[in-house]
Amino acid sequence: MDAYLKETAYFDFHHPDIEAFNHKVTASNLKDKAIQIYYLVRDEIVYNPYTLQDGLPSLKASYCLQNYQAYCIPKASLMVALCRLNGIPARLGLADVINHLSTPALVEWLGTDYFALHGYAEIFLNGRWIKVTPVFHQALCDKFNVAALEFDGEHDAILHSATKDGSKHMEYVKYHGYFDDMPVEFIQETAVEVYPRFAAIFHIDDTAPLQ
């Protein structure tokens, strides 16, 4: 489990902003800590898909706390980082999805309605891995008539397939598995294929330190 507890450049849990944010985690046991972390990340970090344009630095957990908004991968990264900081093994999961509630403006901006590499967290509690998706905050769910995703510390929390009135919501197309650190090369390869207009901002420069 060591790989799922260590700090990395992307799961940067000793960043001052993350350590300060972690003061809100007050529970005494791991299960309750995980639940608190989930709701803190879900609701205090506004889901904003347009922050994707910030490129490679936006993948870091600490990025979420710059303006308290981020898209799915950094929000999942923040949950991974906070869980690791609190002694809960955690890793990043990635899946391709189709969000049937995406706005036409977002689909036009991305150039596709196929959302490759949707991020979620996997955490280890009570002897097993649990999928957890702290992405869509309460206000956004209310706006789109979707029940906000709840997490009880025991069951998978993956996004709903339908809205409250039965309309299609989230369709999981393909799971890419889990990662103990940010798979930046895989993300770059996928950006070239699925989001060509954003490929350059996820370019990996091995000669430059990650800011």
The tens digit of pLDDT for each residue in 74-124 reads 999 999 999 999 999 999 999 998 876 778 888 788 787 888 899 999 999
Phi, psi torsion values for 95, nearest 5 degrees? -145, 155
Dihedral through CA 194, CA 137, CA 159, CA 115, nearest 10? -10
| pLDDT at res. 172 | 82
pLDDT above 90: residue 168: no
Check residues 99 and 148 and name the one with the higher pLDDT: 148
CA 134, CA 151: separation in Å to the nearest integer?
A: 9
Cα separation values, 182 from 21, 53, 137, Å: 21, 18, 23
User: How crowded is residue 143: how many other Cβ atoms within 10 Å of its Cβ?
Assistant: 10
| Matching residue, tokens 């608190």 | 36
Tokens matching residue 130: 């649990």
- Asked if residue 18 lies in contact with residue 85, where contact means CB atoms within 8 angstroms, the answer is yes
| pLDDT at res. 210 | 47
Residue type, 114: Y
Residue type, 47: Y
For the chain, give the percent of residues with pLDDT over 90: 62
What is the chain's mean pLDDT, rounded?
A: 89
CA 114, CA 136: separation in Å to the nearest integer?
A: 18
Q: Residue 202's pLDDT band (boundaries 50, 70, 90)?
A: confident
User: How crowded is residue 203: how many other Cβ atoms within 10 Å of its Cβ?
Assistant: 12
